[in-house]
């Protein structure tokens, strides 16, 4: 008898009126039979709510959580995921798309894994522009996504992970905590905390499509004298401080030094010299630990 554990997909919209229906349909078009879809809107200023409500007329059993004020990604997700009944969780932005076999491949990886403490599976994906035109694969031959204990990989940025193609076992959130609501973005912090205590497994398949837009968070990390950029980089600094406390070995501290050097470039480019000074002090502490 086949086992189809419930998977909860949390789809978060913020000014995604042009893309949200395609994202929602990609969840319904999965070839996996046991999926719960929960939709949130973080007080969009466009017509996202109206578009979602119109779509829901044909899907009245799907839960919708529209915010009356803008709470940010982390708090909105935390509020909604607590309503999820699934054993496994997918965090889907409303401008991204799951390919039809995404969920089934992820569940198969969980069920066939050799790791006894597997908490997260992640795969490759396609990056596309606002029109859906192919840009590139997220992982190329130069990348080496790892499985098992990948803490050093995550801390050191030798290979990055994308939440679009990831599935998280709910017990991960229950063990390490949900998204940090003090941060402007959520994924790196979760990967670091989760990889300290759980194994990850990489699926070498294209599982999803991620849209790269001028409004995407990734486009804001190096803008000069920008309020949003400063908040993102402050969040990065707080995440690196957490990683410093979680590190256990000299090798992990050396890996973190590599991450710090990479982030220094962003702080310099964005001209946030106060934050750069804080990062330099952290770098000194990390270097000392890597040598001690």
Express the helix, strand and coil content of the chain in percent, nearest 5 each.
45, 20, 35
* Model confidence at 1: pLDDT above 50: no
pLDDT tens by residue, 35-86: 999 999 999 999 999 999 999 999 999 999 999 999 999 999 999 999 999 9
Confidence (pLDDT) at 219: 54
Residue ranges of the domains in the chain? 7-213, 220-291
Q: What is the DSSP string of 246-284?
A: H--SHHHHHHHHHHHHHHHHHHHHTT-HHHHHHHHHHHH
Calculate what percentage of the chain has a pLDDT beyond 90: 84
User: Which one of 3.30.750.80, 3.90.550.10, 2.40.50.100, 1.20.120.530 gives the CATH number of domain 7-213?
Assistant: 3.90.550.10
Q: pLDDT tens for residues 77-113?
A: 999 999 999 999 999 999 999 999 999 999 999 999 9
pTM exceeding the 0.85 threshold for the entire prediction: yes
User: CA dihedral defined by 209, 202, 81, 10, rounded to 10 degrees?
Assistant: 20
Who contacts 20 (Cβ-Cβ below 8 Å, separation ≥6)?
11, 13, 48, 51, 52, 55, 94, 95
């Amino acid at each position: 008898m086949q086992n189809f554990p419930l998977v909860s997909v949390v789809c978060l919209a913020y000014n995604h009126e042009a893309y949200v229906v395609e994202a929602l349909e990609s969840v319904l078009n999965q070839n996996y039979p046991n999926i719960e879809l929960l939709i949130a809107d973080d007080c969009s200023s466009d017509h996202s709510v109206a578009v979602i409500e119109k779509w829901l007329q044909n899907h009245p059993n799907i839960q919708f959580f529209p915010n009356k004020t803008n709470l940010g990604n982390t708090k909105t997700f935390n509020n909604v995921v607590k309503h999820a009944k699934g054993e496994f969780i997918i965090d889907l932005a409303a401008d991204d798309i799951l390919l039809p076999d995404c969920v089934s491949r992820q569940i198969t990886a969980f069920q066939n894994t050799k790791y006894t403490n597997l908490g997260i599976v992640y795969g490759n994906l396609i990056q596309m522009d606002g029109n859906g035109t192919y840009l590139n694969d997220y992982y190329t031959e130069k990348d080496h996504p790892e499985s098992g204990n990948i803490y050093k990989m995550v801390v050191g940025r030798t290979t990055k992970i994308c939440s679009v193609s990831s599935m998280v076992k709910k017990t991960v959130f229950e063990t390490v905590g949900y998204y940090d609501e003090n941060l402007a973005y959520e994924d790196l912090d979760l990967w670091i905390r989760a990889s300290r205590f759980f194994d990850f497994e990489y699926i070498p398949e294209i599982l999803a499509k991620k849209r790269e837009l001028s409004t995407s968070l990734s486009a804001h990390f190096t803008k000069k004298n920008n309020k949003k950029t400063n908040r993102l980089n402050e969040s990065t600094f707080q995440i690196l401080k957490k990683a410093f406390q979680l590190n256990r070995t000299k090798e992990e501290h050396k890996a973190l030094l590599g991450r710090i050097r990479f982030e220094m470039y962003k702080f310099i480019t964005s001209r946030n010299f106060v934050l750069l000074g804080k990062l330099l002090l952290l770098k000194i502490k990390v270097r000392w630990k890597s040598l001690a």
